[in-house]
Amino acid sequence: MDGPLNPGSKNYEQVTREQEHHGEVTDVSGLRVWERQILTEVDAKYDPDDDSSDEEAIRVRRERAESKAAKAQAEAEKAAIDGP
């Protein structure tokens, strides 16, 4: 035999490294889910996206801001119609 039995296959070290990386990514994702669900239930003013820079967090923050602005606009219009 002149070459490896399975060319292009991964060795033990590569597989172990990939499994560890996958575990770490899963752990962080789980913490993000926990943070959004549990901590926001405990403190209504808590915003888990304040210090985040990932795209999902940016999207969520933008949607919250748009929703808050739309609600404020609707309340202002209602107040203008109803009067003092």
- Give the gyration radius of the chain's Cα atoms: 24
| Chain segment 44-60, per-residue pLDDT in tens | 777 766 655 567 777 77
Q: Is 65 or 44 the better-scoring residue by pLDDT?
A: 65
44 close to 64: Cβ distance less than 8 angstroms = no
Please say if the pLDDT value at position 64 is more than 80: yes
User: Could you tell me which of 60, 78, 80 has the C-alpha nearest to residue 70?
Assistant: 78
| Chain segment 11-55, per-residue pLDDT in tens | 899 999 999 999 999 998 888 888 778 877 888 777 766 655 567
Q: What pLDDT is stored for residue 51 in this prediction?
A: 59
- For 17, 19, 35, 36, 44, the CA distances from 10, given in Å and listed in that order, are 11, 12, 36, 37, 48
Q: What pLDDT is stored for residue 53 in this prediction?
A: 59
The domain segmentation of the chain, as residue ranges, is: 10-48, 51-84
